[in-house]
Structure 1
Amino acid sequence: MAQQKPPTEHTGSSPESTTDQPKGDPWHAFGYLVSGVFVYGALGWGLDRWLGTTYLVAIGILLGAVFGIYMTWARFRQPSTDQK
């Protein structure tokens, strides 16, 4: 039978900072951007169809890109180490 090894400890400045950090997976960032553009673009398209306008889909796509970038930044930023 195969024996299981205990998990190894991370070496870092402090144990608290290494356990709460998200993994830096670029697919998460890509997913945030694509889903933001898709969801808000679809919302803008639906509002365009409902209101009879032609510009809300472009605004929705831009807002989706901005929100996707914000979500990526919020997830992957380094937590501040200044605690008082």
Structure 2
Amino acid sequence: MAQQKPPTAHPANTSDQPQGDPWHAFGYIVAGVFVYGALGWGLDRWLGTTYLVAIGILLGAVFGIYMTWARFRPPPTDQK
């Protein structure tokens, strides 16, 4: 009888592309829009303006996209 070997463990990231859950990316963007939109809304109420909520939502989307890019970008390769 042939002897069976146990399966070998594969590294979590065997390709050159980053691995991750797409829900994390969605969460970063939604959380950024929500938090900065709420901050803009609060500032609008406090200062009596009407435009800070829109600026907060846009900044939240930009920061959420940046956080997604920073989290899921490929690791730098050292070429010395």
TM score, norm. by length of structure 2: 0.79
Q: Which residue does the alignment assign to 1:24?
A: 20
After TM superposition, give the deviation of residue 12 of structure 1 in Å.
4.0
The one-letter amino acid paired with 1:51 is L
Identity of aligned residues (%): 81
Does residue 52 of structure 2 align to residue 51 of structure 1? no
- The residue that corresponds to 2:9 in the other structure is 8
Name the Cα RMSD after superposition: 2.3
**Count of residue correspondences:** 73
Give the superposition deviation at 1:24: 1.6
Which runs of no fewer than 5 residues in structure 2 stay unpaired? 1-5
Task: Provide TM-score, normalisation by structure 1.
Answer: 0.75
In structure 1, runs of 5+ residues without a counterpart are none
Alignment correspondent of 2:30: 34
The verdict on how the C-alpha distance between 1:12 and 1:30 changes in structure 2, with shifts beyond 3 A counting, is closer
Counterparts of 2:67 and 2:46, CA distance in 1:
29
In 2, the alpha carbon distance for the partners of 1:53 and 1:7 equals 62
Q: Which AA in structure 1 matches 2:10? A: E
Q: 1:44 to 1:9 in 2, by over 3 A?
A: same
Q: 2:63, 2:26 → 1: CA distance?
A: 12
Q: Give every structure 1 segment of 4 or more consecutive aligned residues whose post-TM-superposition deviation is greater than 2 Å.
A: 9-13
TM-fit CA distance, 1:6: 8.1
